[in-house]
Amino acid sequence: MNEVIILGLMVSSLGVEAVLTGSWLCQLQDEQQQEYEEEEEILTHYDSDNPNTTTIASSQPQISSPNHQDWEYKIVRAQRDLFRNPKTFEKLCQEEAIAGWVMVEKLDDRRVRFRRPSNYQPSQSQSDQAAFIDPYRSSYGSSFNLIGLLTGVAFLMAIILPAYLGYILVSTTLNSLPPELPITPK
């Protein structure tokens, strides 16, 4: 009887683990989506002097500088805090400068905003170097995610270990039974 209870607990624990893991992953996805939406909301809006473009927020003051022109903006993101390292940050800025991008601001250790004139045309020497760099890239660094890998391994272990232990328990229980079981009358 105790074996049945233990087996039931092991099998039901897999369902509980699956539900808990699923809810945890959904919560992580919701937090990432909320962080992305908040990031997009707090970014500075830049108006253009081009009359053909529509403005999102007409209440913002117009820039009346004679040097003002149409700019295109981009944000380069990293999976980890890569831009905390000054050498990596400098390398990013140099690579983006080859494609004509100028750093506007470093938002944090994972995001950097760049801009360049919308009518930018690279010179001959710059176009040779820029051939190896995507001018519109928005991610930097490796996409390898150690935390995701460790989470996957832990998830697999949480599934495989109880199943293996349940198998061992059932096999030892069946091996320890007497060869002939008494038949109970109905």
Each residue's pLDDT tens digit, 65-87: 445 568 999 999 988 888 999 99
Q: What is the DSSP string of the chain?
A: -HHHHHHHHHHHHHHHHHHHHHHHHHHHHHHHHHHHHHHHHHSPP---S-TTSPPS-TTSPPP--TT---EEEEEEEESSSGGGSHHHHHHHHHHHHHTT-EEEEE-SSSEEEEEEETT----HHHHHHHTTS-TT--EES----HHHHHHHHHHHHHHHHHHHHHHHHHHHHHHTS-SSPPPPP-
Question: What was the pLDDT predicted at 59?
Answer: 37
Quote the pTM value.
Answer: 0.49
> 116 or 9: whose pLDDT is higher?
116
Domain chopping of the chain, boundaries: 69-143, 147-174
